[in-house]
Chains A and B, each alone.
Chain A
Amino acid sequence: MENVVCTFCGSVCDDGVFENGDIRRLCALGKSKFSKKERIKAPMIDGKEVSYEEAIEKAAEILVEAKRPLLYGWASTVNEAIRLGVLIAEKVGGIYDQCASVCHAPGTLALIEEGVPGGTLGSVKNRADVVIFWGANPVEAHPRHPTRYSVMAKGLLIKDRKDRKVVVIDVRETKTAKLADIFVQIKPGYDYAIISALRAIVKGEKIEADEVGGVPVEKLYELAELMMNAKYGVIFYGLGVTQSRGRDRNVENAIKLVQQLNRKTRWIIWPMRGHYNVVGAGEVPAWEAGYQYAIDFSRGYPRFSPAEFTAVEALVRRDCDAALIVASDPAAHFPRKAVEHLKKIPVIQIDPHPNLTTLLSNVVIPSAIAGLEAEGSVYRMDGIVLRVKKLVETEYWSDVQILEKMYEVVVKRVG
C-alpha cells in the first residue's frame, strides 16, 4: 500500500509504503511505530484477563462512581475517539485534559492573549527564506521535517538549500544545530530576555548590555537584521521555549516579536507539535466544549483553568479520585509527585502497548494501533486534517469501538 500515513510525530508524513509488514520511506521513529512489538494481550481487571465487555463495564462503573475522574491522554489516537472522550468526561462530571498540558499548552495560553500569526508547512516549504528553530530539535523529534518542509525542502520560491537561511537557537548544540547556518547558544531560561532584546532591536532601540542570556549583542543585531530582511520567515518553537522558565510568557513574547516583524515583512510562528494527533486532542474538545485542555465538567458545564484542571495540578493537589488514561503514559512522563497520586486512585488504561501506566492500572483495555490496525482522522501539526489508514486486520478493538461502548454504558448508568 502506498501513501501510508505515519502515526508517530506531528509531521504526520503521508508517503509511507507498506508491504508485507514492512514500512519504507519513513524515518527511524516512523519505522519503530510500524515495527512489531509487545502488546497488551487481553483486557484485564486487577491483572485478571476478562472480556472487552467486562473491562468496559468495570471502567464505566469506576468513572461514574468517582466524584471527579480525570480523563487524560488523547494525543495518540484519532479525532473520533477523542470526541467520545469529551462526551464521557461531560457525562461523568470529570476533567478532560490532554498531553499538550505538559507539552505545548503554554502556547495555547499565549494564543489566547495574542492570537497567532501562523501558516502551514506547505507555505514554509514553498516560501520561507529564513527558518528559525527555537528550542526545537526536529532531527531527533521530527526527523523528516527538515527534508520535507523546512531545511532542505525545495518549494515554489525556494529552489535550493542555498535560498534559505536556517538558524537554531538552543541551550545545547543539538543535531539540528549542526544543520544550521547560524547557531545561537543561549543560557537555560533566558529565552524571554533574548526575545525582548530582539524586539527592542527590531523597534530601533539600542541595547545597553554587552550580552543577553549568554549571547553577545552583536550576534543579536545580526539576527535581528536577518529577520527584518527575510521575505518570508518562520519561527518554529519547541519545548525548549514552553517547558523552561517563562513558559507561556516566552511564547507570548515571541508572538509579539513576530507581530512587530510583520510591520516590515512577512513572518509566521508555529509550534513543533509532538504526537501525531496532539493538535486534535485540543481541537476536538474546542469544538465540543470551547476549550483545548484543562476542562472541568464537575458543575455540569465546561470550565477552563490550567491552574486547577490540568492533569499535573489535579494529581499533585489530589483533586481527582479516578483516572482514565487513553493513548498516553503519564506514569512515565509526569513529575514524581503527580505519579504518586496516580498510584493511589483507580486507573483505567486504554493503550496498544504495555507501559509504566499499565503497571499501576486497575483496568487495562488493549486497543488497535491507529494508522496500522484502525482508521480515523487526525490533525497534522499545522492544523491540516489527514485520514489515517487501516492496513492490517486485528482482533483488538479500536479506541473508537472501546469508547463508544464505554459511553453507552456510562449513559445507561448515569441516566
Chain B
Amino acid sequence: MPIEVEIITGRTIDQGKTVDEKLTEEYFKAVSYCELNEEDFKALGLKEGDRVKIKTEFGEVVVFAKIGSVPKGVVFIPMGPYANQITSDDTDGTGMPLFKGVRGIVEKTEENVKSVKEILGVE
C-alpha cells in the first residue's frame, strides 16, 4: 500500500564529496536514494536494497530506500537530479522552488533506478 509523505531534500557529506564528479558511480550512489522512517519502511514491506517510487504532482522517480533518522511521514532525498524529478517548480514569485515540504506518495516498486544520464534524458 502506498503511503502519503512530505518530501524534503538537502545536502549530505557524500553528495558534497562527489559534487564535482557527477558522472561517476560514487555520485550516483550519493544521490539516488531516499531515507524513510523505520515504521514507514516496514509498512511498505521494504528490506535493504529495495526500491521505491515517489510521486508528486510535479513528477515521479524511482530510488533506493533506506531507513534514516526522519520522522514518520517524512522522506529525505539528497539534493540532486533524483530529488529534482519530483520537486515543485512553483517558486511563489521568489525564484526558489519548494525543495522542502512537497507532498507526495511512496510505494514499493520493482522498477529499476535510472542512471544519472537516463534521468537527464540524454541517453
Where the two chains meet, the residues of A that have a C-beta atom closer than 8 Å to any C-beta of B are 8-9, 28-29, 32-33, 37-38, 97, 101-102, 105-106, 109, 137, 139-141, 143, 171-174, 185, 187-189, 239-240, 242-245, 247-248, 274, 293-294, 306-307, 309-313, 316, 329, 331-339, 343, 352-356, 359-360
Contacts and interface: CB of A to CB of B under 8 A. Distances in A.
A152 B108 CA distance: 43
Contact of A29 (B17, B71, B74, B101): B17
Nearest to A338: B89
Interface of B: 6, 8-13, 16-24, 58-59, 68-71, 74, 76, 79-81, 84-89, 91-101, 116-117, 120-122
B94 A188 contact: no
A242 B81 CA distance: 20
A172 B76 contact: yes
A244 B98 CA distance: 6
Contacts of B96: 101-102, 105-106, 242-243, 247-248, 310, 312
Contacts, number: 168
A172 B69 contact: yes
Contacts of A33: 20
Contacts of A306: 91, 93-95
B13 A140 contact: yes
B31 to A, nearest CB: 8
B18 A140 contact: no
A105 B69 CA distance: 28
A310 B95 CA distance: 5
A312 B95 contact: yes
Given A143-B13, A239-B100, A335-B89, 20 more contacts: A28-B17, A38-B24, A171-B100, A172-B69, A189-B6, A239-B11, A244-B100, A245-B98, A247-B92, A248-B94, A274-B11, A310-B95, A310-B96, A335-B58, A335-B84, A335-B97, A337-B58, A355-B23, A359-B117, A359-B122
